[in-house]
């Protein structure tokens, strides 16, 4: 396997904040970055050498991107199958189309995880309202009903019990859904694995995550959890990445339930919960992604210091005054990361605050306080 050397061009399918941060990591390493995104004003546009404005389903757009680069990667899973195929005809695609097509369908992903022997919570798959009613009855408790395709940050899912099957099916308007028993969680965590085509693997310490309304609110790295839990999370991450033969990054979202880890979802790209790697002294997940897809030696993953992040959603801009970033930055060791997006809509991730500390709890306390000061 030959490395893709600095000086080469990397194409990114997706030009959101993850594409922007991938470009910001790749450029100092000597790479040129092209992106494809439906929006001509995407977050990555100011830092990319070239932007292709096309839908994520556009085979023509993907081919246009891939013809001008040495390697193609992604920053978002929802790329159409024909677009993935078109890109692959012109340049290596890392992660592969096979990985992406499996991961972007929740029903296929859950079925694969279960068949491969990885621990998942009780679930069913339904393709119509009748099957949904039967699934809800079988699971016998409140469930999260999720559209098999599309939806993220709490979108594309509803909570339902058996008597609400018609409502849930009508609301989601999906071709298929996963029906997952709602679990009482001890904690939510994630682990990030980097894997080169040549086989080298590096796994980051797990992050502890907190969601509000289905959207990540804050995350702290490393997770202040028992070492036995952290070790099992790392082992699960490495095993799943190896089974999928991922080339690049794989984030694994996990639930801790009664002391047992269950796999929630997979993401073969940089992940919101590892933005703290930009500040904690380890190799950032974005630089690591570039190293991994280009088959370069992987960087250090052990943090020099604990760090935490707090997402900045569009709601922060909805008041009579702009967010008070100066007040937030008065908190010791807090940094501001904005993504260069336009309209701050509710639920839209506009940036994040990051803080470091002597302990994970100190880092988290600082970033939560900084976020509180934005609206004082």
Q: Are residues 274 and 258 in the same domain?
A: yes
Our count of domains for the chain comes to 3
CATH code for the domain of 205: 3.30.470.20
Q: What is the pLDDT of residue 76?
A: 95
Q: Are residues 167 and 87 in the same domain?
A: no
Q: Are residues 217 and 330 in the same domain?
A: yes
Out of 164, 181, 198, pick the residue that ends a domain: 181
Q: Are residues 131 and 240 in the same domain?
A: no
Q: What is the pLDDT of residue 321?
A: 83
Q: What is the pLDDT of residue 35?
A: 98
Q: Are residues 365 and 328 in the same domain?
A: yes
Q: Are residues 196 and 172 in the same domain?
A: no
Q: What is the pLDDT along the chain (376 residues), one digit of tens a residue?
A: 589 999 999 999 999 999 999 999 999 999 999 999 999 999 999 999 999 999 999 999 999 999 999 999 999 999 999 999 999 999 999 999 999 999 999 999 999 999 999 999 999 999 998 999 999 999 988 999 999 887 665 567 888 876 677 788 888 877 889 999 999 999 999 999 999 998 899 999 999 999 998 899 999 999 999 999 999 999 999 999 999 999 999 999 999 999 999 999 999 999 999 999 999 999 999 999 999 999 999 999 999 999 999 999 999 998 788 899 999 999 999 999 999 998 899 999 999 999 999 999 999 999 999 999 998 7
In a domain, 110, yes or no: no
CATH code for the domain of 13: 3.40.50.20
Out of 140, 159, 181, pick the residue that ends a domain: 181
pLDDT tens per residue across span 160-170: 876 677 788 88
Q: Are residues 72 and 140 in the same domain?
A: no
| Residue ranges with strand state E in 114-156 | 123-126, 143-147
Q: 222 preceded by cis ω (within 30°)?
A: yes
Q: Are residues 165 and 193 in the same domain?
A: no
The H or E element spanning position 108 is helix 106-115
Q: Are residues 170 and 155 in the same domain?
A: yes
Nearest residue to 361 via CA among 224, 229, 225, 227: 224
Q: Are residues 169 and 313 in the same domain?
A: no
Q: Are residues 332 and 300 in the same domain?
A: yes
CATH code for the domain of 147: 3.30.1490.20
Q: Is the pTM of the predicted complex or chain greater than 0.85?
A: yes
Q: Are residues 315 and 218 in the same domain?
A: yes
In a domain, 114, yes or no: no
In a domain, 105, yes or no: no
- Distance, C-alpha 226 to centroid of its chain: 24
In a domain, 98, yes or no: no
- Cα(15)–Cα(75) distance, integer angstroms: 7
In a domain, 106, yes or no: no
Nearest residue to 264 via CA among 109, 139, 51: 109
Out of 74, 93, 112, pick the residue that ends a domain: 93
For 231, what's the count of Cα atoms within 13 Å in the CB-facing half-sphere?
A: 3
DSSP percent split of the chain into helix, strand, coil, nearest 5: 35, 25, 40
With beta carbons less than 8 A apart as the criterion, state whether 223 and 360 touch: yes
In a domain, 320, yes or no: yes
With beta carbons less than 8 A apart as the criterion, state whether 174 and 133 touch: no
In a domain, 113, yes or no: no
- Cα(14)–Cα(42) distance, integer angstroms: 9
Give the range of the structural domain holding residue 65, as residue numbers without chain letter. 9-93
Nearest residue to 327 via CA among 375, 260, 272: 375
In a domain, 152, yes or no: yes
Q: What is the pLDDT of residue 161?
A: 73
């Amino acid at each position: 396997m030959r490395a893709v050397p600095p000086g080469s061009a990397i194409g990114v399918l997706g030009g959101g904040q993850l594409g922007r941060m991938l470009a910001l990591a790749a450029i100092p390493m000597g790479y040129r970055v092209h992106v494809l995104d439906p929006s001509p004003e995407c977050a990555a546009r100011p830092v990319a050498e070239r932007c292709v404005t096309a839908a994520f389903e556009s085979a023509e757009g993907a081919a246009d991107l891939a013809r001008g680069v040495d390697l193609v990667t992604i920053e978002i899973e929802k790329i159409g199958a024909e677009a993935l195929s078109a890109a692959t005809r012109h340049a290596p695609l890392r992660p592969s189309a096979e990985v992406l097509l499996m991961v972007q369908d929740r029903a296929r992903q859950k079925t694969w995880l279960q068949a491969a022997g990885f621990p998942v919570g009780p679930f069913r798959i339904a393709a119509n309202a009748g099957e949904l009613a039967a699934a809800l009855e079988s699971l016998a408790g409140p469930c999260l009903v999720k559209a098999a395709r599309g939806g993220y940050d709490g979108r594309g899912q509803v909570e339902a019990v058996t008597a609400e099957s018609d409502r849930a099916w009508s609301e989601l308007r999906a071709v298929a859904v996963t029906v997952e028993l709602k679990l009482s969680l001890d904690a939510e965590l994630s682990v990030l694995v980097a894997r080169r085509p040549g086989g080298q693997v590096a796994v980051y310490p797990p992050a502890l995550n907190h969601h509000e309304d289905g959207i990540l609110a804050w995350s702290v790295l490393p997770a202040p959890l028992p070492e036995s839990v952290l070790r099992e999370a790392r082992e699960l991450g490495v095993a799943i990445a190896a089974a999928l033969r991922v080339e690049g990054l794989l984030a694994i979202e996990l639930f801790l339930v009664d002391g047992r880890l269950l796999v929630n979802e997979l993401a073969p790209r940089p992940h919101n919960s590892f933005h703290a790697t930009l500040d904690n002294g380890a190799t950032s997940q974005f630089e690591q992604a570039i190293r991994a897809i280009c088959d370069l030696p992987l960087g250090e993953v052990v943090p020099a210091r604990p760090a935490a992040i707090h997402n900045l959603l569009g709601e922060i801009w909805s008041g009579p005054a702009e967010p008070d970033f100066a007040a937030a930055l008065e908190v010791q060791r807090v940094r501001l990361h904005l993504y260069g997006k336009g309209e701050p809509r509710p639920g839209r991730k506009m940036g994040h605050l990051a803080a470091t500390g002597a302990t994970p709890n100190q880092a988290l306390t600082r970033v939560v306080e900084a976020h509180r000061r934005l609206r004082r």
